[in-house]
Structures are given as C-alpha cells and as structure tokens.
Amino acid sequence: MPEPLALPDHVRAFVVAPGRFATIATLDPDGAPRQALVWYRLDPDGRLMVNSAAGRRWPANLRRDGRVALAIAEAGDGYRWVGLAAEVAEIIDDQVVAQADIADLARRYHPDDPAEVAASVARFRTQQRVTFRLRLVSFHDHHDR
C-alpha cells in the first residue's frame, strides 16, 4: 500500500491540536452518505486512527467500502477547518489493541480529567471495539481567518 500523504506543517498542527473532533463520512450500502462525530488521532506514521464500538453503521460501511472523508473544524470558528480524504489501510479487531486505542483516545480527549478517562475506559471495556487506521490521500484546508 502506498505511503500516507504527508501533510504540510500548518495542516498537521491543526489536525493534531487537542480537543478537536472529526466528522466522518462513509457510504451506506445504497450509496447514501452517512456521517458521525468521532474521536481521532494522527499517528507519527501519518495515518489517522479512529475507533468505534462494533455494530455501528459507519464502521460497517468502512468494512464494505474503505473510502472515507473527514472534516475537522476549529471549535468556535467554523471558518477554520481541514477536510481529509482517506482509505482504510488496516482494520484491527484484536481487542487488546482496539481497547488500548480507545483508552488512548479517552486520554487525548480528557487530559485533565482522570476520573472521566477511568469511567470511559471502564465503559469501553464492556464493548466490542474496532480500530481503523486510515491512509490519507488528499486534504484541503480552510484557514480563512
């Protein structure tokens, strides 16, 4: 599989900034778009990691059709955002890995609240989880302000 697209420094900095959520768009079996709000992490190798409870529609869509688009907006300023197109590079059903990934995301999104991280991790442990590693194929940034 080709290497992930290298993001320019200003786009990478925007994507890795803490506290931002991504809107993920997948395709339903009938071709209709499906969106969800997700936690994510940009890994050092340039791949984007997302994780979900099994049984949700968007992960089922990604298993069937690995094409995905994401939008990441700056909180409080919808004029500053980055759009990403990606494809599934890896699907990880191994629960040790998937649970570690969601725990890492809980720490990323609640860095100052260890009690919330612990509660989230406890809740996630009752769920079957899946991790997707996404290879970026294109981006567009809107930093108009």
Alpha carbon separation from 127 to 11, 16, 38, 73, 98 (Å, rounded):
33, 27, 16, 28, 10
Please report the DSSP string for 116-139 in residue order. Answer: HHHHHHHHHTTS-EEEEEEEEEEE
Architecture of the CATH domain 9-143: Roll (2.30)
Residue ranges of the domains in the chain?
9-143
In the sheet with 33-38, reading across from the earlier edge strand, the strands are: 33-38, 22-27, 67-74, 77-92, 129-143, 48-53, 41-42
Query: In one letter, which amino acid is 96?
Result: V
How far is Cα 56 from Cα 13, in angstroms, rounded to an integer? 30
Residue 1's pLDDT is: 60
C-alpha closest to that of 8 among 144, 138, 133: 138
DSSP-derived secondary structure letter, 65: -
Residue 103's pLDDT is: 94
C-alpha closest to that of 61 among 132, 136, 1, 128: 132
Residue 121's pLDDT is: 82
pTM for the structure as a whole: 0.92
Please report, in tens digits, the pLDDT of each residue of the chain (145 residues total): 667 688 999 999 999 999 899 999 999 999 999 999 999 999 999 999 999 999 999 999 999 999 999 999 998 888 899 999 999 999 999 999 999 999 999 999 998 888 888 888 888 889 999 999 999 999 998 876 5
Instruction: Assign 92 to helix, strand or coil.
Output: strand
